[in-house]
């Protein structure tokens, strides 16, 4: 049995109840066959056994009081997966679906993503099954304060630096930062995605969506093409989706779809992004409200077809894991899609991703394509360390450079290992090699 097969059998046995973690880990391990199966130094050091086991998992109770005076209890998590190349870094997700499998898959992906940024950040992820939807600001604040009252002892600016993810934006980061500061009595860069007046970085809000589009743009440039005139579908209507749409529009493309957990809109003349921002960022409302105001847009409830039925040149899934399956992939390909770029983490199922690659669709996996968010978080950490803030143009330029570099690194790695054009293999191999070498350098830890 090969080294990789042995590890896959092992993780399947030990984590049988964690389908998302197994999906993410198996994808990476499959890519690593060409690296580890013919070089015994990895097996000799039990490198893969260590890589798939988090350095530390924290799970805790989060009690809080709702507006009616009733005590509520949620579950909190932080998975500190790998610190070989820097402090643990990765977002916090607040969504009712959150469980250990989801946090472990996200933490595992984060190791390789953070490595690809070229910046010194390890991999971690956390969150809670708390649902911010329908909660008052004060309920969200009480939850965030309680969450941080436990989390604070596990994190620190040189130890573990959380940020946002689904359900965690500027409001939640503010409440958590305030509570951390109050407990430790120090103003530290312990979270990223902070407000611009208290240690946040310009362009962090835009970074994930912009970065995704910068990567696709660099690829288009490499084939002497551009976004000009391209039709694009985007899923989600949160942070990543909104700023991916904004950058596509700036570059001359037309985004025709967005989704939320209730349904999707198809607006053939192009999405009115100001209206989306008003509904989603100000009113915290639903996409259905968009269709009410734009009578030429079509709104469909979940279950009534799919956003991926709409013919486009480029598809950018930016909502959540496993939102694009094999059937969706077949429809997109049949309708002529040329490029798929993952703004979300693992939005494409394994068979869907395989189908794109087999059909020579240019497919950018999330761990490469959405790395601009965490990359800019690392730039926020640098600014906090030097107690300075850089201009929007400076941060945006560095973000662009990070994404361009990732594109070329994953492209080169895919070629070096005989899989030209397979950016899943390229991202997994390039991300792994740096972390693996750091782990080898640091001994059996």
Name the residues that contact ligand 2IT, by CB under 6 A. 89-91, 113, 163, 165, 192, 345, 373-374, 377
List the one residue from 173, 265, 344, 395 that touches ligand NDP (CB under 6 A): 344
261 contact choice in ligand 2IT, ligand NDP, none (CB below 5 to 8 Å, kind-dependent): ligand NDP
Q: How far is CA 303 from CA 133, 258, 338, 423, in A?
A: 21, 15, 26, 31
Using the minimum distance from each CB to ligand 2IT, give the nearer residue, 320 or 345. 345
Using the minimum distance from each CB to ligand 2IT, give the nearer residue, 345 or 411. 345
Encoded tokens for 423: 């950016």
Using the minimum distance from each CB to ligand NDP, give the nearer residue, 149 or 208. 208
Encoded tokens for 247: 């950058």
Q: Is the dihedral of CA 114, 119, 121, 127 positive or negative?
A: negative
Give the number of C-alpha atoms closer than 13 A to the C-alpha of residue 58, restricted to the C-beta side. 19
DSSP E strand boundaries for 132-262:
160-163, 231-234, 254-260
* Calpha distance 123→136 (Å, rounded): 32
89 contact choice in ligand 2IT, ligand NDP, none (CB below 5 to 8 Å, kind-dependent): ligand 2IT
Tokens 């880990």 found at = 25
* Calpha distance 104→219 (Å, rounded): 30
* Calpha distance 339→173 (Å, rounded): 33
List the one residue from 165, 206, 217, 380 that touches ligand NDP (CB under 6 A): 165
Question: Least Å distance between CB 125 and ligand NDP?
Answer: 9
319 contact choice in ligand NDP, ligand 2IT, none (CB below 5 to 8 Å, kind-dependent): ligand NDP
260 contact choice in ligand 2IT, ligand NDP, none (CB below 5 to 8 Å, kind-dependent): ligand NDP
Interface region with ligand NDP, contact rule CB under 6 A, candidates 6-14, 234-242, 386-394, 425-433: 234-242
Cβ contact 149:179 at 8 Å: yes
Q: 10 Å Cβ neighbour count for 181? A: 16
Tokens 């350095």 found at = 55
320 contact choice in ligand 2IT, ligand NDP, none (CB below 5 to 8 Å, kind-dependent): ligand NDP
Burial class (CB in 10 A: 0-12, 13-18, 19+), 273: middle
Annotated active-site residue 247? The verdict is no
Interface region with ligand NDP, contact rule CB under 6 A, candidates 237-245, 246-254, 288-296, 428-436: 237-245
With H, G, I as helix, E, B as strand and everything else as coil, classify residue 189. Answer: coil
Question: Least Å distance between CB 368 and ligand NDP?
Answer: 11
157 contact choice in ligand 2IT, ligand NDP, none (CB below 5 to 8 Å, kind-dependent): none
Answer yes or no whether residue 320 interacts with ligand NDP by CB under 6 A.
yes
Answer yes or no whether residue 240 interacts with ligand NDP by CB under 6 A.
yes
Answer yes or no whether residue 145 interacts with ligand NDP by CB under 6 A.
no
* Calpha distance 14→12 (Å, rounded): 6
DSSP E strand boundaries for 313-429:
314-316, 339-341, 362-364
Residues 78-97 touching ligand NDP, rule: CB under 6 A, are 95, 97
List the one residue from 54, 76, 124, 164 that touches ligand NDP (CB under 6 A): 164
List the one residue from 167, 263, 426, 431 that touches ligand NDP (CB under 6 A): 167
Give the number of C-alpha atoms closer than 13 A to the C-alpha of residue 296, restricted to the C-beta side. 7
Answer yes or no whether residue 349 interacts with ligand NDP by CB under 6 A.
no
**Closest alpha carbon to 91 in 144, 13, 169, 154:** 169
383 contact choice in ligand 2IT, ligand NDP, none (CB below 5 to 8 Å, kind-dependent): none
Using the minimum distance from each CB to ligand NDP, give the nearer residue, 253 or 341. 341
Q: Which of 113, 125, 247, 300 is catalytic?
A: 125
Count of all residues that appear for the chain in the document: 445
Residues with a catalytic annotation lie at: 125
């Amino acid at each position: 049995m090969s080294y990789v097969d042995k590890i896959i059998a092992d993780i399947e046995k030990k984590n049988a109840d964690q389908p998302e973690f197994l999906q993410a880990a198996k994808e990476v391990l499959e890519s690593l066959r060409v690296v580890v199966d013919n070089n015994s130094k990895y097996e000799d050091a039990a490198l893969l056994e260590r890589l798939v086991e988090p350095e530390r998992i924290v799970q805790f109770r989060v009690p809080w009081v709702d507006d009616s005076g009733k005590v509520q209890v949620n579950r909190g998590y932080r998975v500190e997966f790998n610190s070989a190349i820097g402090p643990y870094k990765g977002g916090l997700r607040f969504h009712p679906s959150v469980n250990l499998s989801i946090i472990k898959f996200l933490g595992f992906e984060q190791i390789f993503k953070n490595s690809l940024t070229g910046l010194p950040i390890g991999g971690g992820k956390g969150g809670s099954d708390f649902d911010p939807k329908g909660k008052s600001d004060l309920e969200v604040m009480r939850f965030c304060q309680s969450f941080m009252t436990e989390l604070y002892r596990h994190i620190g600016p040189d130890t573990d630096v959380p940020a946002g993810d689904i359900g965690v934006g500027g409001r939640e980061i503010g409440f958590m930062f305030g509570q951390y500061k109050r407990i430790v009595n120090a103003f530290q860069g312990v979270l990223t995605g902070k407000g611009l007046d208290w240690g946040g970085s310009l362009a962090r809000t835009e970074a994930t969506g912009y970065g995704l589009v910068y990567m696709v743009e660099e690829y288009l440039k490499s084939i002497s093409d551009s976004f000009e005139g391209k039709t694009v579908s985007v899923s989600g209507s949160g942070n990543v989706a909104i700023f991916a749409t904004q950058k596509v529009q700036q570059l001359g493309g037309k985004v025709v779809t967005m989704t939320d957990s209730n349904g999707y809109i198809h607006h053939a003349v192009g999405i009115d992004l100001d209206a989306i921002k008003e509904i989603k960022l100000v009113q915290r409302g639903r996409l259905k409200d968009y269709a009410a105001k734009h009578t030429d847009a079509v709104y469909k409830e979940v279950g009534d077809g799919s956003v991926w039925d709409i013919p486009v040149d480029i598809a950018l899934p930016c909502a959540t894991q496993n939102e694009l399956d094999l059937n969706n992939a077949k429809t997109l390909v049949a309708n002529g899609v040329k490029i798929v770029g993952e703004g979300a983490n693992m939005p494409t199922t394994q068979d869907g991703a395989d189908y794109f690659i087999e059909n020579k669709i240019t497919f950018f996996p999330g761990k490469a394509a959405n790395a601009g968010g965490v990359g800019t978080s690392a730039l926020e950490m640098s600014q906090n360390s030097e107690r300075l803030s850089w201009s929007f143009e400076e941060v945006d330029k560095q973000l662009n450079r990070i994404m361009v570099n990732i594109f070329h690194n994953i492209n080169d790695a895919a070629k070096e290992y005989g899989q030209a054009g397979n950016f899943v293999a390229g991202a997994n191999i390039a991300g792994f090699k740096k972390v693996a070498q750091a782990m080898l350098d640091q001994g059996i830890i």
